[in-house]
Structure 1
Amino acid sequence: MRADNPDLVTVVGIGAGGDLSRTALAALQSSEITFGSDRQLALLPGSVPGERIAWPSPLLPALPGLIDAHRGRAVCVLASGDPMFHGIGATLVRLLGADRVRVLPHPSSASLAAARMGWPLAEVDVISLVTSPLEVLRRCLNPGRRLLVLSRDGATPARVAALLVEAGFGSARLTVLGQLGGPAESRVSETAASWVRSTADPLNVIAVECADGPATSIVPGLPDEAYETDGQLTKREVRAVTIALLAPTPGALLWDVGGGSGSIGIEWMRSHPSCRAVTVESSPSRAVTIRTNAANLGVPGLRVIEGRAPAALAGLPTPDVVFIGGGLTVDGVLDAALDALPTGGRLVANAVTVESEAAIAAAHAELGGSLTRLTVSRGSPVGGFTGWRTMMPVTIWSVTK
């Protein structure tokens, strides 16, 4: 295989105890250079003769230069478990291309954890906190759910326990599995509320059984009470229709112009883990609120830009979809949003004032698309009876470029 591709990099999965498949061991024994962490390199048997190079810290900025410096030589890279499961294998494929990377996987830590717990892996949510903020867990919390959490370090279990308690899941059971597959494998189990250990084995996976706690819908239209707000909030019913018209697809990027409390960008990102969003908000206090809401609802990766459109839109990554919830009457906002969209991209705009409705009507007359008008009435007490209180009507324009 190397004769056809002298620049091939072989990524070898290794277990916590140093166990290797026959194919992996053969690849290492024929390598001239082996990269890995100090811990991984120390696990290699003496029959691996090549030069051993420990990764620098930080690794990612140095990685391209390290690999390039050894082009034409037999290079192996060590990875814990499955290199393509939140591992360096995926990073190297992105960097070098799939044709330059050969992957020899070991069972992943998630596979080993599911086996130890007796959980069908296909029915479990797996979350990595190695590169993601702790708050991403909140998106997966619901009564009865099972989660496998890949820890960043030994302090992660205590942080997870504290978040579960704060989120109303104090009865959730945490099982911390350390050194999976190695001779020092360990297991500790407690409820989140009773967790008192500040540290654990640094190489651990946390199995979480959510048990009882507050249920959170997985479809758009979360209750208004789920958000902190100063009143600038797209109401639940309108939000559900708006998200449906925005039509999130995996990996798509949304611009939310005039973020308010952040609900549109947040529920866009909650629709799929790979959905991305940038919210533009001119009020600093509302920008703080958006970040708080995003963290509380499990999408801390929502990017918040403080500034006024259209100037604040300059330099942002190309969107797949744009939502305008504020600023329709500001010169240049609508034109800038439409110009930024690629062919086939969608724009959705909500109007509640006569002036913004006029802007939508003019744009619809010129560019087409669809118009929807929503009037929502909610039941509320009228003395000892119940009557209808009607909210301001909302006009929604949707167009594909």
Structure 2
Amino acid sequence: MIYIKDEEFIRGNCPMTKEEVRILSIAKLELKPNYVVIDVGAGTGSVSIQISKICSEGKVIGIEKDKDALEVLYRNKEKFQADNFEIIEGEALDIEISESFEGVFIGGSGGNIESIIEKYDKMLKTNHKMVLNFITLDNVYKALNKLKNLGYKIECSQIAVSKTKGQSLMLIANNPIFIVSGKKQG
């Protein structure tokens, strides 16, 4: 599978999970081609679209509430012909979904991380993974505690990426990102 580069995505004014973090986060999900995966806080769709290419026989559902992000999300879905990618507009805690999933990715929580984990835990199949990305220590702490209390086998990685820019190849740092992953136990 060839991973999609950052510059290939339509960006707009919404945040995007950067390439290196996106690749590592998706790898932590341990996906197979027929998996059904949900992306909470889909943003530009960079994670959802990449997952849709990996899970080509399965399906991806992206949930997004921000109007600006939704506009970009639909445009990226069309650009990458992600036909197995379904977009649901709205607040992650208000949406009713009756499906179960082999993977849950949470890239945005709107300040409700513990409630979102609790809700989507009920939809995640046993022995499958929930992966979450954070910038703030507060959310990392809340997520780790909630997953631990739900009986998940958890791990956390902090990723710091710097990239060269310009003729001098000066390194420019991106914000460090925490990748929390939890495997739902039986």
- SS at 1:248 equivalent: coil
Q: Partners in 2 of 1:266 and 1:309 — Cα distance?
A: 19
On the 8 A contact 1:328/1:356 being kept in 2, the answer is: no
Partner of residue 132, structure 2? 349
Q: Deviations over 1:18-44 (max 9, x none)?
A: xxxxxxxxxxxxxxxxxxxxxxxxxxx
User: Is 1:224 aligned to 2:37, yes or no?
Assistant: no
Q: Distance in 2 between matches of 1:275 and 1:328?
A: 28
Structure 1 stretches of 4+ with a deviation exceeding 3 A read 363-368
Listed as ranges, the matches of 1:68-87 within 5 Å are: none
Aligned to 2:104, what secondary structure does the other structure show? strand
RMSD over aligned Cα, in angstroms? 1.8
Does the 8 Å CA contact 2:140/2:180 hold for their aligned counterparts?
no
Q: 1:365 to 1:344 in 2, by over 3 A?
A: closer
Partner Cα distance (1:398, 1:285) in 2 = 28
Q: Which of the two has greater strand per residue?
A: 2
C-alpha distance 328-338 of structure 1, shift in aligned 2 (>3 A):
farther
Unaligned 5+ residue runs, structure 2? none
Q: Note the 1:173-184 alignment, pairs <5 A.
A: none
> Superposed, which structure 2 residues align to 1:251-262 within 5 Å?
251-262=34-45
Tell me how many residue pairs correspond in the alignment. 180
Secondary structure of 1:320 counterpart:
strand
Q: Which amino acid aligns with 2:108?
A: G
**1:13 alignment partner in structure 2:** none
Cα shift at 1:361: 3.3
Deviations 1:139-189 (CA, angstroms, capped at 9, x unpaired): xxxxxxxxxxxxxxxxxxxxxxxxxxxxxxxxxxxxxxxxxxxxxxxxxxx
Question: Residue 291 of structure 1 contacts residue 300 of structure 1 at CA under 8 Å; is this kept in 2?
Answer: no
Give the counterpart of 2:162 among 377, 384, 389.
Answer: 377
**Corresponding residue for residue 17 of structure 2:** 234
Cα-to-partner distance string for 1:38-89 (whole Å, 9 max, x where unaligned)? xxxxxxxxxxxxxxxxxxxxxxxxxxxxxxxxxxxxxxxxxxxxxxxxxxxx
SS of equivalent residue, structure 1 residue 311: coil
Question: For residues 186-215 of structure 1, what are the alpha-carbon distances to aligned partners after superposition, in whole Å with 9 as ceiling and x for unaligned?
Answer: xxxxxxxxxxxxxxxxxxxxxxxxxxxxxx
What amino acid is aligned across from residue 240 of structure 1 in structure 2?
Answer: I
- Write the distance in 1 (CA, Å) between the matches of 2:134 and 2:59: 24
Match of residue 318 from structure 1: 100
Distance 1:317 1:365, change over 3 A: closer
* Alignment map for 1:12-91 (pairs within 5 Å): none
Which residue pairs with 2:179 in the alignment? Answer: 396
| Contact 2:117 2:147 (C-alpha < 8 Å) held by counterparts | no
Aligned counterparts of 1:329 and 1:355: Cα–Cα separation in 2: 10
Identity %: 22
Per-residue Cα deviation, 1:264-296 (whole angstroms, up to 9, x for no partner): 111111114213100000113322221211121
TM-score, structure 1 normalization: 0.43
Asked whether 1:329 is paired with 2:111, we answer yes
Q: Distance in 2 between matches of 1:231 and 1:336?
A: 25
Higher relative contact order (CA 8 A, sep 6+): 2
SS of aligned partner of 2:127: coil
Pairwise mapping of residues 135-284 of structure 1 onto structure 2 (< 5 A)? Answer: 218-220=1-3, 222-229=4-11, 230-284=13-67
For 1:399, the aligned partner's letter is: G
Look up the equivalent residue of 1:259 and give its one-letter code: A
Secondary structure of residue in 1 paired with 2:70: helix
Residue 144 of structure 2 contacts residue 154 of structure 2 at CA under 8 Å; is this kept in 1?
A: no
User: Could you tell me which amino acid in structure 2 is paired with residue 323 of structure 1?
Assistant: F
Q: What SS does the aligned partner of 1:385 have?
A: coil
**Equivalent of 2:80, from 275, 297, 307?**
297
Q: 1:364 offset after TM fit, Å?
A: 5.2
**Cα contact 1:351–1:360 (8 A) shared by 2:** no
The SS at the match of 1:335 is: helix
Matched, 1:338 2:121: yes
Give the TM-score normalised by the residue count of structure 2. 0.88
